[in-house]
Amino acid sequence: MNKIIQIIAEEFNIKPIQVENTVKLIDEGNTIPFIARYRKEVTGNLSDEVLRNLNERLTYLRNLEKRKEEVIKIIDEQGKLTDELLVGIGTAKTLAEVEDLYRPYKQKKRTRAIIAKEKGLEPLAKIIMEQKEEKSILEIAKEYINEEKDIKTEDEAISGAKDIIAEDISDSAKYRKYIKGACYREALIETKATKPEEKSNYEMYYDYKEEIKKIPSHRILAINRGEKEEFIKVKLSKPEEKILYYIEKDIIKGSTQFEKILKDTILDSYKRLIEPSIEREIRSDLTEKAEEQAIKVFGENAKQLLLGAPLKNLVVMGFDPAYRTGCKIAVIDETGKLLDTTTVYPTAPQNDVDGAKKVLLELIKKHHINMIAIGNGTASRESEMFVSNLIKEADHEVYYAIVSEAGASVYSASKLATEEYPDINVSLRGAISIARRLQDPLAELVKIDPKAIGVGQYQHDVDQKKLSESLTGVVEDAVNKVGVDLNTATPSLLSYVSGINKTIAKNIVSYRNENGKFKNRKQLLKVSKLGNVAFEQCAGFVRIFEGDNPLEITSVHPESYEVAEKLLAKLGFEKNDLLDKSKLSEIKIKLGNVNISKLSEELNVGSLTLEDIIKELSKPGRDPREEMPKPILRSDVLKIEDLKEGMVLNGTVRNVIDFGAFIDIGVKHDGLVHISELSEKYIKNPRAVVSVGDIVKVKVLSVDLEKQKVALSMRGIE
């Protein structure tokens, strides 16, 4: 275990005691959000992201140690464990290295080498490898002719011996390590079109080559998809001469009668056994790394989207665009409660613009709607034009915003949506989801499978289990960063709170329905299946507004209530003053002037915990998402034909990928800012400059009307 702690400490550049303490907390069953937020003193203030990566690495290293023990035991049982092998397995840093060392001892199917050994040709293979015998190889081989064992000639005996040698070479961990290293340094990935005349999304790969050490993740995944869809063939071009020379130099001992036999055998071993498996391993390794990167990109984008600023205190009309079946409309109040639904037909083929206008203007007036959220799917463009004209005729100011409807249809048909709106038509549920996404992105998006959020890069091509695990962690971190109103939260939202699973989430809502609003956090202990352990994990992340204790509108944990009250008392306040707006600014000023190191000693609390308490008491009940950029609200429509080179516009970052960012500038298709156009300085990662949800100024570089593509830049804008 100490070895694992040392490895992690070095890799993460943190102290071994931080790793040791964190591992202990994880093993005790504490969740990552809880450790990150309430055990800063113990971990040395490690962030949730570092903690998740550390946990992942810990799992890998523990599995590695377990596999080493299994392999050593199997080889030892065969009576073939040497000191050298023991050291080799013990010092292996990856599972792949362990498997390479185990390879010669693995039970194999009946290979050509196994058949040759059964025929008694192993001694002949040994003679050829030793290269000492001066007697002619044909004379030596003659001794192995055996009609019963189906060895009729000297050549057949030599051929069988060569099969044994070829497999031994192929099984050598030393050669495999060298070959993989040489390939990673020098190999090229080459792609060719299967049908060059056919148009596709993979045309850039119809005749393409790139060094594997330089190829970025998104190109690996694009190539994999192109190969899967049979538009391209893929191969690795390896430094074959160098590889063969290395093995020959190691095996062949000068100019003897065995030289040609061994050269032929080495070539056969490489071509028939080593090259295909090494190619598979390298392609698999490249894919795994590319998938890891894609999952990371998706996670970062999803987190930003989930933490999008809510638009509070607005009555919102959700507008789910369509053609033939009509545009679905849902009106929700400031709390997200459904007020009204209808269907209008302003788009083709009906084109009932006047009828739709009349119905919607009546709804706008009746419910005093401030905002229209338009889904960005089919017929979005025509719907936007209709809405921009509609709001000009409203009797008060109304704005609209384009909202991503990714996953809305998945939600609409889900069991959850049926439970929420049993009497509402499936198609209208999508409009409700679109309206609520604008009002509170986090509360709505947690109802959808994170994969359907639509801010990734090849998310459907990656390992779905790993993607789900990663995204669950991302959603947990987002939910726990914001906190959850215990008296309004849905089971979907509650189930992502630290320590609360789906069953407990449903039990909380049932308890609330039966007993009325929660008045304090301690009441959670009355909820079925929510014991002391779950309470400790979840208590700080739930909020109770208008409850018994003003501290419960903050993320101050119950274990720190006493400290918080003593701190307020020292400054001349009590906890109820947190609800008095006239005293808040004074509390904030006094908290800003405290001496943290001195006060942490007086109150017998860690300085990091005290800092967190001070931050919370300075802004009680404040939603951290309020600091995020608000959605761009529009009142008029822009067409791609209106765009001109050099035009400067405001846009919303919709997706950040390895090669740049897609920006919504209010035309049908998002424009692309290539990584080279994101900053005046050279950057390796677009996320160093932009995040999903950011509002940015962009300049139009070019417009391709035929392909409906817009190239943008963030450079050189005054």
Tens digits of residue pLDDT in 632-649: 766 666 678 888 888 888
Q: What is the pLDDT of residue 273?
A: 94
The half-sphere exposure of 342 on its side-chain side, counting CA atoms within 13 A, is: 17
Secondary structure E strands in 565-707: 648-657, 660-664, 671-674, 695-704
Instruction: Count the Cβ atoms, other than its own, within 10 Å of residue 490.
Output: 18
Sheet containing strand 207-211, edge to edge, reads 207-211, 188-193, 232-237
- The partner residues of 696 in beta bridges, in order of sequence, read 651
Sort strands 316-320 and 371-375 into parallel, antiparallel or unpaired. parallel
pTM: 0.83
Q: What is the pLDDT of residue 332?
A: 94
- Cα-based distances in Å from 63 to 23, 58, 60, 131: 15, 9, 5, 42
Secondary structure E strands in 534-647: 542-543
Question: Which regions in the chain score pLDDT beneath 50?
Answer: none
Q: Are 137 and 128 in contact (CB under 8 A)?
A: yes
Give the Cα separation of 223 and 587 in Å (integer).
Answer: 59
Q: Are 16 and 7 in contact (CB under 8 A)?
A: no
The secondary structure of 25-50 as a DSSP string is HHHTT--HHHHHHH-HHHHTS--HHH
Closest C-alpha to 637, from 395, 387, 436:
387
Closest C-alpha to 636, from 398, 355, 312:
398
Q: Are 699 and 712 in contact (CB under 8 A)?
A: yes
- The partner residues of 660 in beta bridges, in order of sequence, read 657, 674
Q: What is the pLDDT of residue 62?
A: 95
Please name the residue that has the structure tokens 């393409």: 208
Q: What is the pLDDT of residue 514?
A: 95
Q: Which amino acid is at 544?
A: I
Closest C-alpha to 662, from 629, 684, 690, 688:
690
In sequence order, which residues have a C-beta less than 8 Å from that of residue 414 and are 6 or more positions away? 447
- The partner residues of 341 in beta bridges, in order of sequence, read 330
The structural domains of the chain, ordered by start, are 2-88 (1.10.10.650), 112-297 (1.10.3500.10), 316-439 (3.30.420.140), 510-627 (1.10.150.310), 640-713 (2.40.50.140)
